[in-house]
DNA sequence: AGAAATTTGTTCGTATGTATA
DNA sequence: TTATACATACGAACAAATTTC
């Protein structure tokens, strides 16, 4: 029976200990934790229990274990997020449609922020990716530079949550359902259409023109099956708002 | 030396084993894993190593361990996401501004989907939350029903990624920076303003009117400092598009 | 209801590979 | 090179919770 008193499992003490150290700013990225034996003594648990807790923290990217050296605070969140998306995808029976909706949500907001915060360096990166996309000869290349453009745009938003979420999402898409991006790109009726879509997106970023950038994103997602019909319908409704004021 | 041959750590075998079982649909949520001793024998590692791997999987929400019973496939992703947001927040020095931007991205997209997919049950839930908000007397209550309205709206989107991300985000906000939601709500210049904002949001959902729903969301976020100024500026630019057609 | 079997939770001891001064 | 500190890994044992008979 559970009496309400928290009789936490031993390894939880480790997780809490580390989280507390981080939250209270006593440890930061790169810092080394006490040795496992010391932790075991301090927390009054066995070394094996300490290790179970440390292993969990390593998996979720907060820790990095180096044999012979020690356990260090780290920030490797991308992989975990990707893994979680993958598990959710299978276990919760999520559709590709939902992935696309999530991706759109991130890109839409990222574009708003990117036009305000993009710096010259990012502009050059995105310019070059676009040039490469134009010169791309194989589908393989097109996939790569398509991805680079979108990722750079999100990076330019300078919002760590958007960036990490987006990276995890695309990593998962490329890894688990690799066919998806291929199908999307192959679905473009011509190379020119793909370029036109990205031209708007890139121009929006470089000229700081939000409307053009959003047009590019909308165009890109309009090609994705099913979602296309839905979003066109939505946008007309949004745009009707100001008309009433005319 | 590392010879390039991957001499992975022992516990990785467990993580890979479980992930493979899930990916190949050999196991689904609720299923029980082989006993730890059996796994140890099958994977040719010690039980301690098996446990390290299992612990990691438990922490990231894929597993649930029950003493005396076994290890079961689970789907407890919310807590992990929350923890990761918390770690990112501290370790990457993320601002409240970025949290708000992320939250807005989710709500904005969720509203688009919610008006299309909301069912009668969710409508009733959101109606009642709104009534409770109107009758709320303490700030405590207002915080609770404010949260219920927004959460129900996101739930109505029926997108698991949006739902999980949003829940993690609000859990984190309430837990770590509890002052935030309070400040936002207290920032509303009057109770009426708070209600008017939510009235639009709720009406949009119930009547399936996207424009009204989006107005509600925009209104809500417009009160959040700094982001407010930015977003008003943005919206005028968006809304200028159709005007040109007039 | 109760006893036995099963399974996870936890600990200790020991041996080995690795990094560092 | 050597010595020390540290993580990695294994096996055995017992405790505690659950399931099974």
Query: Could you please report the per-residue DSSP string of chain A?
Result: ---SS----HHHHHHHHHHHHHHTTSS-TTPBPPPHHHHHHHHTS-HHHHHHHHHHHHHTTSEEEETTTEEEE---HHHHHHHHHHHHHHHTT--HHHHHHHHHHHHHHHHHHHHHH--HHHHHHHHHHHHHHHH--SHHHHHHHHHHHHHHHHHHTT-HHHHHHHHHHHHHHHHH-THHHHHHHHHSSSHHHHHHHHHHHHHHHHHT-HHHHHHHHHHHHHTSTTHHHHHHHHHHHHHHHHHHH-
Instruction: Using DSSP bridges, classify how beta strands A70-73 and B63-66 pair: parallel, antiparallel or unpaired.
Output: unpaired
- Nucleotide closest to residue A67 (CA–C1'): D7
Measured between beta carbons, the chain B residues lying within 8 angstroms of A81 are: 84
Q: Which of A8, A15, A53, A91 to mutate to test the interface with B (most CBs of B within 10 A)?
A: A91
A69 touches strand D (CB under 7 A): yes
Instruction: Taking residues B30-59, report their average pLDDT.
Output: 95
Nearest CB partner across the interface for A51, out of B52, B60, B234: B52
Sign of CA dihedral B218, B223, B224, B227: positive
The answer to whether the C-beta of A68 is closer than 7 A to strand C is yes
**What does the pLDDT read at residue A35?**
92
Q: Is the CB of A70 under 7 A from strand D?
A: yes
**Closest chain B residue to A51, measured at CA:** B52
Give the pLDDT of residue A223. 65
Overall average pLDDT of the A152-158 stretch:
97
d(CA A100, CA A96): 6
Residue A8, nucleotide of least CA–C1' distance: C9
* Residue-wise pLDDT tens digits, A100-139: 899 999 999 999 999 999 999 999 999 999 999 888 888 8
Cβ–Cβ under 8 Å, residues B97 and B176: no
Proportion of chain B above pLDDT 90, given as a percent: 57
Q: Which residue has the higher pLDDT, A139 or B180?
A: A139
pLDDT band, residue B106 (cuts 50/70/90):
very high
Per-residue pLDDT, A207: 95
Which pTM does this prediction carry?
0.84
Residue keyed to tokens 């134009």: A134
Q: Give the mutation candidate from B57, B71, B87, B236 for the A interface (greatest A CB count, under 10 A).
A: B87
Contacts A–B by Cβ distance under 8 A: 188
Q: What is the pLDDT of residues B77-101, one digit of tens each?
A: 988 888 888 888 888 888 888 998 9
**Rounded CA–C1' distance between B85 and D4, in angstroms:** 39
**Which of A220 and B225 is assigned the larger pLDDT?**
A220
Among chain B residues, the shortest Cα distance to A12 is held by B59
- List, in sequence order, every residue forming a beta bridge with A64; answer none if it has no partner: A72
Q: Does the C-beta of A49 come within 7 A of strand C?
A: yes
Q: Is A217 exposed, middle or buried (0-12, 13-18, 19+ CB in 10 A)?
A: buried
pLDDT tens, position by position, A49-98: 999 999 999 988 899 999 999 999 999 888 888 888 888 889 988 888 89
pLDDT of residue B239: 35
CB contact under 8 A, B239 and A234: no
A135 CA: distance to closest CA in chain B (Å): 32
Q: Is the pLDDT of residue B4 over 60?
A: no
Question: d(Cα A153, Cα A204) in Å, to the nearest integer?
Answer: 10
**Predicted confidence (pLDDT) at residue B32 exceeds the cutoff of 60:** yes
Instruction: Specify the DSSP class assigned to residue B32.
Output: B
């Amino acid at each position: 029976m559970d009496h309400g008193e928290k009789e936490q499992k031993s390894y939880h003490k480790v997780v809490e200990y580390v989280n507390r150290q981080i939250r209270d700013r006593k440890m930061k990225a790169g810092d080394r934790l006490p040795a496992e034996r010391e932790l075991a003594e301090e927390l009054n648990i066995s070394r094996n229990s300490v290790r179970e807790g440390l292993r969990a923290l390593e998996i979720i990217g907060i820790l990095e274990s180096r044999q012979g050296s020690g356990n260090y605070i780290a920030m490797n969140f991308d992989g975990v997020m990707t893994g979680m998306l993958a598990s959710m995808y299978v276990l919760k029976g999520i559709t590709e449609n939902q992935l696309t909706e999530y991706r759109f949500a991130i890109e839409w907001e990222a574009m708003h922020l990117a036009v305000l915060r993009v710096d010259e360096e990012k502009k050059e990166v995105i310019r070059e990716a676009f040039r490469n996309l134009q010169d791309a000869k194989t589908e393989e290349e097109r996939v790569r530079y398509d991805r680079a453009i979108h990722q750079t745009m999100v990076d330019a938003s300078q919002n760590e949550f958007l960036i990490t979420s987006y990276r995890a999402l695309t990593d998962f898409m490329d890894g688990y359902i690799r066919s998806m991006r291929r199908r999307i790109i192959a679905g473009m009726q011509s190379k020119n259409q793909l370029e036109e879509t990205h031209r708007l997106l890139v121009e929006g970023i470089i000229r700081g023109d939000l409307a053009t950038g959003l047009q590019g994103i909308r165009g890109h997602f309009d090609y994705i099956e099913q979602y296309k019909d839905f979003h066109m319908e939505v946008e007309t409704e949004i745009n009707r708002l100001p008309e009433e004021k005319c």
